[in-house]
Chains A and B, each alone.
Chain A
Amino acid sequence: MASYLLIESRDPFDSNDVQFTTELATGLAQAGNTVTVLLVQNGVLPARAGAKADGLVALLNAGVTVLADDFSLVERGIAPARLRPGVTPAPIDVVLDHMAAGHKTLWH
């Protein structure tokens, strides 16, 4: 099985096609692949603890590792303590770690 990093840059409250990332990530995870989703830019907005985020919950329930870009969080005034449980802040270097390891990396 393969390892995937999916980078989600869009806000699901603004872009309905974020659903495609959710479906792809959960499908890959259910097929036995190792899947990480990194939220960047406005993609971090559903990571707030109080946000309605059905897609994010589906990712976590499917065993997908969900990270949130620390710079994007700071830009938007979202403190780590205000994140939904299961979402972990991460530096942008995590993308390089995955790429250097040969993981399939996709941007949306």
Chain B
Amino acid sequence: MSQKTLTFALMDPPYESANLTTAFRLLTAAAERGYNLNVFAYEGASALAFARQAAHPNPVHGKNLAEENHPTTREQVAALLACAEKNGGKVDWVNCGMCVDERGVNEFVPGTRRGSPADLHAFTEASDNILVIPTK
């Protein structure tokens, strides 16, 4: 079977919606299959790959940084890129330019890039299939 290319459009911001948990499960499963993945992260999702996200302790619960073990979506994005590379696939992760400018999140995890809705159009043309995961 030929290598598949799938496109996912993500819209939800980090740390707010179960949609992203499911989205990362889907993306990881596809990367493990060696699929090529295109991701268009727009609106709130443009902050997923923001490089300055920082884990934090939780003093209210009496946990230090290590005990809290706070996951960040920038780490999830980086792990996805590594998983795809390990399995022979590629990830083209595009952060919507206007969306990142609006939110001041214009510093990205290495391996992701700035783009525009034109990239989503190009992804759609070049993919075997596409799934849009909109915000509620």
Contact = CB atoms under 8 A, between A and B. Distances in A.
A and B physically associate: yes
A93 B133 CA distance: 16
B131 A99 contact: yes
B12 to A, nearest CB: 11
Contact of A92 (B18, B29, B35, B133): B29
Interface SS of chain B: helix, strand, loop or mixed?
Answer: mixed
Interface residues of B, number: 20
Interface in A48-97: 69, 71-72, 92-93, 95-96
A96 B22 contact: no
Contacts of A71: 25
Interface residues of A, number: 20
A105 B18 contact: no
B131 A92 contact: no
Contacts of A72: 22
B30 interface: yes
Given A95-B131, A105-B131, 12 more contacts: A41-B21, A42-B18, A72-B22, A92-B22, A92-B25, A96-B30, A96-B33, A96-B35, A99-B4, A99-B131, A100-B6, A100-B35
6 contacts: A42-B18, A99-B131, A100-B4, A100-B129, A102-B129, A105-B129
Interface of A: 7, 9-10, 15, 40-42, 69, 71-72, 92-93, 95-96, 99-100, 102-103, 105, 107
